[in-house]
Amino acid sequence: MKLNVITEPNPILHQVAKPVDFVKTDKSALKKLIHNMIETMYAHDGVGFAAPQAGVPLQLCVFAKNYSFDGQKELVLINPKWEKLSIAKNTDTEGCLSVPNMYGEVKRYKKIKVRAQDINGQPLEFYTDTFLARIVQHEIDHLNGVLFTEKAKNLKKITRA
């Protein structure tokens, strides 16, 4: 089921999301939410999607399989944290399903290490220096109530002709 995407202005997009508690959380409801988030991401041509963008203030985000580390399967990160493994940053254009038609240039760390839990609550750790590094930083910003527009330079509104 496709979820409704929350767009600006909305206070949910500016809140810190709560950690997923695997003891208290209903596993099938969590799996259903993840499934729906993935469907919603693809329906809007997104490469990543965070639960607060569906109005669910949980530390959970998903990534399109083309950009995930094995390229085979969508990547799901629960309660994720990242740290930089390089001083180097690069700049690239970003957009966001929650800020429709806006694009801007954002500086992000090139190489990061990510620690999270998977869909079963098992620890997951990896590093990345591909485009995934950028998307992970963008989506984890969502979990901390930060939008790319707060970091972007040369923000432009591009409307459809």
Which span (13-21, 24-32, 66-74, 93-101) binds Zn ion, by CB under 5 A? 93-101
Q: How far is the CB of 24 from Zn ion (least distance, A)?
A: 27
**Catalytic residue positions?**
139
89-94 and 102-109 strand pairing = antiparallel
DSSP letter (8 states) at residue 16: P
Q: How far does CA 133 lie from the centroid of its chain?
A: 11
140 in contact with Zn ion (CB under 5 A): no
CB 159 within 8 A of CB 101: yes
Cα–Cα distance measured from residue 160 to residue 101, given in angstroms and rounded to the nearest whole number: 8
Q: Which is nearer to Zn ion, 12 or 121 (CB)?
A: 12
Q: How far is the CB of 50 from Zn ion (least distance, A)?
A: 7
Q: Which of 47, 62, 96, 124 binds Zn ion (CB under 5 A)?
A: 96
Cα–Cα distance measured from residue 115 to residue 95, given in angstroms and rounded to the nearest whole number: 25
Q: How far is the CB of 22 from Zn ion (least distance, A)?
A: 25
Q: Which is nearer to Zn ion, 78 or 96 (CB)?
A: 96
User: For residue 96, which amino acid is it?
Assistant: C
Residue ranges that bind Zn ion, judged by CB under 5 A: 96
